[in-house]
Amino acid sequence: MTNPDRATRTPTDPLPEPAPRTFYRSPAGHDVVDCPPRELARLLAEGGLLWVDIDSTVRSQHAMLEKVFHFHPLAIEDTLNPRSRAKLEEYDGSLFVILRGVRLAEDTEDPYDLETQELYCFLGPRFLVTVHAGPMASIDRVAETIHRAPDLLSRGVERVLHAILDDTIDSYFPILQQIDEFIDGLEERVFVKFDESALRDLFHVKRLVLSLRRYLQPSREVMNVLTNRPSALLTADVQLYFRDIYDHVLRINDSLDTYRDLLSSTMDAYLTQVSNRLGATTKALSVVATMSLPFVVVSGMWGMNFTRIPLSGWPHGFLVLLVVQLGLGLLLLFLLRRRGLL
């Protein structure tokens, strides 16, 4: 028997929008996970530690940036721009950080095609709000860590921000590993097998390295500011953790510079090898052309349509002309080789 008081949803009713992911630790040490959005204002007022993860593709979640947290309109506008530059800005009562995560695309034929995803972070005195479009691997990993070890949130929202930014920057390392493996096999392909497809892959990887370097440079400045600029929201003890991320950025940048130089040198070596092979082929063709030149000249002269031609009536005239042509060809080869032209 159906309960008439139970609310039923008809097929024409819109599906409810998903709620943001939330983690909250009260001053008394109680944890609240994935609370209803209407409770966020109360949790903020309690003074506990709060992390809210918002998917900007869900309109109701994105509206919370203005209605619940009252962030600056310019910062909220940046969260809707998929091409925002990595930067750090300080507003009244919060830090606004934009960072770009990278990964290799899995749904394209090019194995070196790169995908990027912007991450927006609002850091307050006792809250952290992260914003991104769609699922983000670094957010999921940190959330899973908090599920397993809730003590991470009790250390402060700054430490949660550090864990998220650290995981986002560390996403460069698997890509660097693939580039390193490609370069290890490139020497054999270029200098041993002379694989013609190596040049195409080399261009793709070099484009990948340049793209990674372009995305990393603004992040370097962001981490430098988080590490060295005094802020009421980041104590000196917490800034030590961000210094570790800054060291990772420097390592990645140095690796990309090394890869760029190696790829450029390999490309020059490949093109030099192509030029040498072309020169060897041209040299071989020159030998053939030199040997055939006397045959063309002599045969053309004795093939003219005249009545009286020298040796035309002599029984051994053909053999004489053949020997003369071979002798002239060998003489030309000797002279060209002596002059260093062959």
User: From first to last of its 342 residues, what are the pLDDT tens digits of the chain?
Assistant: 334 444 444 445 455 678 899 999 888 878 888 888 888 888 888 888 999 999 999 999 999 999 999 999 999 999 998 888 889 999 988 899 999 999 888 777 777 788 889 999 999 989 999 999 989 999 999 999 998 888 888 888 999 999 999 999 999 999 999 888 888 888 777 777 777 777 888 888 888 999 999 989 889 899 998 898 888 888 888 889 999 999 999 999 999 999 999 888 888 887 777 777 777 777 777 777 776 777 677 676 666 665 666 766 667 667 777 787 778 778 877 777 777 666
Q: Residue 95: which of 237, 242, 217, 216 has the closest Cα?
A: 242
**C-alpha to C-alpha distance for 212 and 252, rounded to whole angstroms:** 9
- Nearest-Å Rg of the Cα atoms of the chain is 36
Return the pLDDT at 275: 79
Looking at domain 285-338, which CATH architecture does it have?
A: Up-down Bundle (1.20)
Within the chain, which residue ranges are assigned CATH 1.20.58.340?
285-338
Q: Kindly report the CA angle at 167 between 166 and 168, in degrees rounded to 5?
A: 90
Report the pLDDT value the prediction gives residue 72, as an integer from 0 to 100.
92
Question: Which positions ≥6 away from 133 have C-beta within 8 Å?
Answer: 55, 56, 57, 82, 117, 118
Give the position of tokens 């051994």: 316
| The listed CATH number (1.20.58.100, 2.102.10.10, 3.30.460.20, 3.40.1710.10) that belongs to domain 16-155 | 3.30.460.20
Task: Measure the CA angle with vertex 332, ends 313 and 316; round to 5°.
Answer: 15
pLDDT at 106: 78
Q: Within the chain, which residue ranges are assigned CATH 3.30.460.20?
A: 16-155
Token digits for 257? 């510079």
- Give the pLDDT score at 301: 63
Instruction: Specify the amino acid at residue 133.
Output: A
**Phi/psi of residue 131, nearest 5 degrees:** -130, 135
Q: What does residue 159 show for φ and ψ, rounded to 5 degrees? A: -70, -35
